[in-house]
Structure 1
């Protein structure tokens, strides 16, 4: 008695990590009711969470039965892309010698993934440190990755250098990349600082992966070494003082004693010196207090630095072709930016002048903002001038007709407008808040 069975699977490409459903049909071509033992054969039988023994399938004579077999593909780099063949063993219960083994092919697709991990989660050093970054291709196809590293804090005094930044890894391949961190601003003494370094791996066909580790910046002289040096210095100073003192040096000379005795004279000199020192400290403190009060009085009445913004508007239609600003008394104007806008005919011209310096001269249609390339400074009473030159355009049609009153024709009105919004700082010329003008300024 023979067994007839057929195994089919979807024709779609299955990515590892996904699942599919295989369909098995078994025909009973005998004349008795039979049952068939089903067993999964091939790679899927070795995968986790897979039922190898599929149980028994009873089939009536002359009929066939269908069973669905769920198969989950593991997301493993060892599962190579391509065609994967598996089978199901179908054995008759009534006739153990009657066996069929239908086969089917699964189309396995590619998937890309990468694992990144520093060898040491924490490194340290006063001038430099090093670490290894381990990369592993956990996908099932060749992948090319780009490795980037940077401190997470913008003010971190570290310069990082990778030995390699681009790698190509086969499926399941591991690689180690060395990373060198150099301290650009060493600390001689003090406490240690902690900086976190971020590692980012970019792939073309998958999401980027990140990791991080810590660099601990130590001072060049740690506290124990610093304490030892201080103690050693104190010992050396004590030995030198002992050597040059009368006890350890020459024999002291005899001094002439007075009627009061040497101890009373010494005490009197010490008292006079203490009194003189006390008086000197009091006079110094009084002078410092007077200087401080005088400085506070000067600062209270002095001019202060203040932000500046003004708008110059020129309009020939309103018979105002020139707009000016004169710097206040006691101040110097430092110009930062001038935002310009203008409208009018093409032959109109806009002039922007600071004192005797011409800043901009351009047509109305080509006006643009002005930012000084060097420090632009105007002293008191100097002027910032915006001027319009807007000549009447030549007539393009027939001559104008006389007015209704019989007089000469009304002249055509040419309108040009320009606006300059000036921003900067007003800085006092004298007093405690005054600032020296830097070279390169113009007036």
Structure 2
């Protein structure tokens, strides 16, 4: 049964956050009425408000049908600008071997955005204060941002200073910028005053994002401290007056000390205290040495980071081995970085590579090629990388002498085995779990 499909998208660049419509045409070149199951493959299948299962499309013999596929690009820094390839898998209901995977490439445009936030919404001081500003480039392109800091009231007695006024951030990158606020006209005594300040981050003539915080200017001597100082002064004056008066004064006595030094009991107590301190210090040093030795012993027996270079999966239809897998060993997690793919076979043969049940690659065996991962894929303990080989020729079609009838596929895994625990463990970078990189399916009739 003959199957032909075509997937098209608009040529102009699409800014993340905008929507577009992809058009799919399916031709039924057989002699019977057939329906086709449609499945969206690639990054759009994981976007919000997008269904990977597009349902079924019935087509009469000798005709074609057209279906519109609405897509909305997520406005997120993880979607880089440039070409983005996706595909739709078209599978016949009547003939499971009749499959087509047309591809299309849309152009993702650039957008810029900035998140600005003050770490502390309120700071204060009589003479000065400090704060931190958190910045995050929420756009999808590297952008140079400028920062400005100023009080909202023009008569505010404040002097502001930013540690940095310009900085370049990559997409999704975060940064912290320190600032200081100085008081130009301190208030010796009185009540506190609140002054609102605004931080503005911009990247164009009119594009700005703002954050606000409040500086509370406190008096050098607040009311409570002033009252306490007056009370203490009054008590001091009263004490001096009582001491000098005939009623409250008394004759001072002369204190004498023995020239013989400390008594025998005091000397014994001092020696006992010195001995106890020396014993405690010796015990503390011995405990530290034991802890250090135990730590060195644990570090020596800990798992070490390994490079997974050369581990391969092989599938051969002639040997009836249509599936191969690699399982992450105990105590490690796998960070997969690249797939070296080779294969031979007829154009109808397909190979599929999955990691932790997430499909990474779908390729024709005859056109197999290496697949670099733009984003490393992280697999947990026990999760598998699986190679599947599909090399069943269409029913009723005899092998041709011009091409091979058997399929052979090999996938070489490149990555790192990182210990989960111990001194050699490394923190897992977000997003956790197996990532879903851009698959590269191939179209075959």
What corresponds to 2:244 in structure 1?
244
What corresponds to 2:155 in structure 1?
155
What corresponds to 1:234 in structure 2?
234
Change (3 A) 1:205 1:52: farther
What corresponds to 1:187 in structure 2?
187
Structure 1 SS opposite 2:141: coil
Pairing 1:84-103 to 2, within 5 Å after superposition: 84-103=84-103
- Alpha-carbon distance in 1 for matches of 2:206, 2:68: 33
Q: Post-superposition shift, 1:122? A: 0.8
- Alpha-carbon distance in 2 for matches of 1:148, 1:21: 41
- Alpha-carbon distance in 2 for matches of 1:249, 1:169: 75
- Alpha-carbon distance in 2 for matches of 1:206, 1:193: 32
The answer on 1:208 being equivalent to 2:208 is yes
- C-alpha contact 1:112 1:206 (8 A) present in aligned 2: no
- Alpha-carbon distance in 2 for matches of 1:244, 1:225: 29
- Alpha-carbon distance in 1 for matches of 2:29, 2:136: 54
Structure 2 SS opposite 1:13: coil
What corresponds to 2:167 in structure 1?
167
| 1:64-90: CA deviation from partner (whole Å, max 9, x where unpaired) | 000000000011111111100000000
- Alpha-carbon distance in 2 for matches of 1:206, 1:114: 13
Question: Where do 5+ consecutive residues of structure 1 fail to align?
Answer: 251-443
- Alpha-carbon distance in 1 for matches of 2:37, 2:249: 112
- Alpha-carbon distance in 2 for matches of 1:147, 1:50: 38
- C-alpha contact 1:198 1:210 (8 A) present in aligned 2: yes
Pairing 1:38-117 to 2, within 5 Å after superposition: 38-117=38-117
- Alpha-carbon distance in 2 for matches of 1:186, 1:101: 74
Q: Post-superposition shift, 1:175? A: 1.0
Q: Post-superposition shift, 1:237? A: 1.2
Pairing 1:2-401 to 2, within 5 Å after superposition: 2-204=2-204, 207-248=207-248
Question: Where do 5+ consecutive residues of structure 2 fail to align?
Answer: 251-445
After TM superposition, the score normalised by the length of structure 1 is 0.55
Change (3 A) 1:110 1:206: farther
Structure 2 SS opposite 1:149: strand
- C-alpha contact 1:112 1:205 (8 A) present in aligned 2: no
Q: Post-superposition shift, 1:249? A: 5.5
Pairwise CA RMSD of aligned residues?
A: 1.7
- Alpha-carbon distance in 2 for matches of 1:222, 1:51: 64
- Alpha-carbon distance in 2 for matches of 1:45, 1:126: 57
Structure 2 SS opposite 1:80: coil
Structure 2 SS opposite 1:229: helix
- Alpha-carbon distance in 2 for matches of 1:156, 1:19: 47
Q: More relative contact order in 1 or in 2 (CA 8 Å, sep 6+)?
A: 2
| 1:15-54: CA deviation from partner (whole Å, max 9, x where unpaired) | 1111110000001111111000001000000111101111
Structure 1 SS opposite 2:30: coil
Structure 1 SS opposite 2:2: coil
Q: Post-superposition shift, 1:123? A: 0.8
Larger Rg: 1
- Alpha-carbon distance in 2 for matches of 1:2, 1:134: 59
Structure 2 SS opposite 1:224: helix
Q: Post-superposition shift, 1:246? A: 4.3
- C-alpha contact 1:115 1:138 (8 A) present in aligned 2: yes
| 1:126-185: CA deviation from partner (whole Å, max 9, x where unpaired) | 111100111111111111111000011112111111111011111111111100111111
Q: Post-superposition shift, 1:209? A: 1.0
What corresponds to 1:360 in structure 2?
none
- Alpha-carbon distance in 2 for matches of 1:244, 1:171: 78
Q: Post-superposition shift, 1:242? A: 2.1
Structure 1 SS opposite 2:83: strand
- Alpha-carbon distance in 1 for matches of 2:206, 2:128: 34
Structure 1 SS opposite 2:50: coil
Structure 1 SS opposite 2:185: coil
| 1:347-389: CA deviation from partner (whole Å, max 9, x where unpaired) | xxxxxxxxxxxxxxxxxxxxxxxxxxxxxxxxxxxxxxxxxxx
**How many aligned positions are there?**
251
Structure 2 SS opposite 1:204: coil
